[in-house]
Structure 1
Amino acid sequence: MNRSAATTTLITVAPTGAETSKADVPQLPTSIEELVETAVRCEQAGASLIHLHIRDSDHRPTLDAGLLRACVEAIRGASDLIVQLSTGGSVHDPLEQRLTVLDAEPDSCSLTCGTTNFGDDVFLNPWPFMVELYRQSIAREVVPEFELFDLGHVHALRRLLDEEGLPHGGRVHVDIVTGVPGGMPGTPAALLAAVALLPPQVTSWSATGIGRTHLPILATALGAGGHLRVGMEDNLVFARGRPVQHNEELVARAAEIATVMQRPPMSTTEARGLLNISRRPVS
């Protein structure tokens, strides 16, 4: 496996997601203005990549092409963060619409490597959809981040790389998502099992712990040489009895822990080098 020991840490912020209601969590950033403000503050706190889900004027998840492009351009104009769009959208979005996310020309996109139970719902990612999304990402020069919710997804990633070759830029970065009801449990043992099975083409990996699994997974990832994803998409509680008030809190804590472990946050320039992502011009 071609992965050198990491001495700095890529911190991804996932600020919104598609599951949490703005009515239930008013501090959740849902407008473009709120997302830009979040991006700027989180970059200052140590994030170098932002993973975006978009909401409409009623705060509902949407894959509206105009809103996607406007958000990408706004964040690109206000920060140097790598802009990654979710191609998962909401679990209710049709597959053909999810493919249109790449029209917004993000730096990166998520590519989930298999179907998984997602709470009471099913997050569909059948093999033909995965292949089509992957081929389109290569053609459009968008760097995918491979999302792995289960050990079967690790095997599917190996098959995808073996059959379709390397992604645009030649680097293979994965995010191991743990703690989703229906996926891998958010335990160190589960995370390390997934890491041990990663195919040799993988050049870097990060980990996400949902909810109360957030901190154990963060600590395990840092100790095992991985990178981090934090944010209100994944975790709404900072500590017992203390809700998260801003994504910046989660980024700053991750940056502090990474620094204590002598793996301080990457700059955006370092992150672009890690993932081989060039900065796209601002429209």
Structure 2
Amino acid sequence: MGATTLITVAPTGAESAKAEVPALPVTLDELVQTAKNCEAAGAAVIHVHIRDDAARPTLDLARLRDTVQALREATGLIVQLSTGGAVTDPYEDRLRVLEAGPDGCSLTCGTVNFGDDVFMNPWPFMVELYRRTQELEIVPEFELFDLGQVAALHRLLDKHGPPYGGHVHCDLVMGVPGGMPGDTRTLVAAVDALPEGATWSATGVGRTSLPVMYAALSAGGHLRVGMEDTLTYARGEPVASNAQLVERAAAVARFAQRPPMDTAQAREFLGVRPR
């Protein structure tokens, strides 16, 4: 078990509406302030979705570049861009995200039912995205929503070699309606199936956030938290800010004798290209 815990914050996502969730950071200024607060609270990676002027999800490349630059100037966080976007985004736009020059990106290892929608990640798209990350020296985080996606990750690595940086890091996304449940038994099964030497974080969506956090720490894993995945802090209590979720994760990690990694440790751990 590692002596420290990598904490990733996913502050915005593509699902929630600003009108319904006023604390959601959707402007660049809000995102940068959120990033500073979350870094101070113990996060080392920020998983980024952006919004347009009407607070709708967008993959606009100029905005993405501005976002990466602003986050780098204001924080030491590892900037990981989502290549998932919103479920309606075309593949070309999702591939183009890498041109914004992030440190890392998400790479989802298969198609999954996502509530009432379908999050499409067919094999040829996965391969093209993966090969581009290798060419552009961007570290992928393999997002796994189901056990079948773990098998797809093995296939990807077997056919196309290791990722840039040489280290395989995954995120188990649990509790999505349509994906694997957010419970200890499923987490253990998923971790057992991962490639040898891989490290992993886990994300519990909605009310699975705490059970998944405790299970991940007990099994030697790392944590992803944030308002992309969790909008309720406790029964009847909305999340006040992303930093509140990072503070809780950092506190639990310290209780588990695995304090949060700082950004320099996280860069070395993930094999991210030096700035």
Q: TM-score range by the shorter chain?
A: over 0.9
Amino acid paired to 1:213:
T
Question: What is the rounded CA distance, in whole Å, between the counterparts of 1:6 and 1:35 in structure 2?
Answer: 30
Amino acid paired to 2:239:
V
Match of 2:208 among 199, 204, 213: 213
Aligned residue for 2:213, secondary structure, equals: helix
Match of 2:186 among 160, 185, 190: 190
Instruction: Determine the structure 2 residue equivalent to 1:131.
Output: 127
Aligned counterparts, 1:25-174, within 5 A: 25-174=21-170
Aligned residue for 1:176, secondary structure, equals: strand
CA contact (8 A) 2:137 2:273 kept: no
> Structure 1 unaligned runs (5+)?
none
CA contact (8 A) 2:85 2:94 kept: yes
Alignment deviations for residues 151-179 of structure 1 (CA, whole Å, 9 cap, x no partner): 00000000000000001010100000000
CA contact (8 A) 2:8 2:225 kept: yes
Question: What is the rounded CA distance, in whole Å, between the counterparts of 2:16 and 2:185 in structure 1?
Answer: 28
Offset of residue 96 of structure 1? 1.3
Alignment deviations for residues 86-135 of structure 1 (CA, whole Å, 9 cap, x no partner): 00000000111100000100000000000000000000000000000000
Question: What is the rounded CA distance, in whole Å, between the counterparts of 1:151 and 1:94 in structure 2?
Answer: 25
Instruction: Determine the structure 2 residue equivalent to 1:235.
Output: 230
> Structure 2 unaligned runs (5+)?
none
Offset of residue 278 of structure 1? 2.8
Aligned residue for 1:154, secondary structure, equals: helix
Aligned residue for 1:51, secondary structure, equals: strand
Shift >2 Å, 4+ stretches: none
Aligned residue for 1:225, secondary structure, equals: coil
CA contact (8 A) 2:18 2:24 kept: yes
Amino acid paired to 2:81:
L
Question: What is the rounded CA distance, in whole Å, between the counterparts of 1:104 and 1:279 in structure 2?
Answer: 16
Q: Considering only aligned residues, what root-mean-square deviation do their CA atoms show, in Å?
A: 0.6
Q: How many residues align?
A: 275
Question: What is the rounded CA distance, in whole Å, between the counterparts of 2:64 and 2:97 in structure 1?
Answer: 7
Match of 2:271 among 255, 276, 280: 276
Aligned residue for 1:180, secondary structure, equals: coil
Question: What is the rounded CA distance, in whole Å, between the counterparts of 1:125 and 1:227 in structure 2?
Answer: 24
Instruction: Determine the structure 2 residue equivalent to 1:177.
Output: 173
Q: Does 1:11 align with 2:10?
A: no
Aligned residue for 1:134, secondary structure, equals: helix
Alignment deviations for residues 198-244 of structure 1 (CA, whole Å, 9 cap, x no partner): 11252x10000000000000000000000000000000011111100
TM-score (norm 1): 0.96
Question: What is the rounded CA distance, in whole Å, between the counterparts of 1:213 and 1:39 in structure 2?
Answer: 24
Match of 2:260 among 248, 265, 275: 265
Question: What is the rounded CA distance, in whole Å, between the counterparts of 1:267 and 1:278 in structure 2?
Answer: 16
Aligned residue for 1:253, secondary structure, equals: helix
Aligned residue for 1:137, secondary structure, equals: helix
Offset of residue 279 of structure 1? 3.2
Aligned residue for 1:169, secondary structure, equals: coil
TM-score (norm 2): 0.99
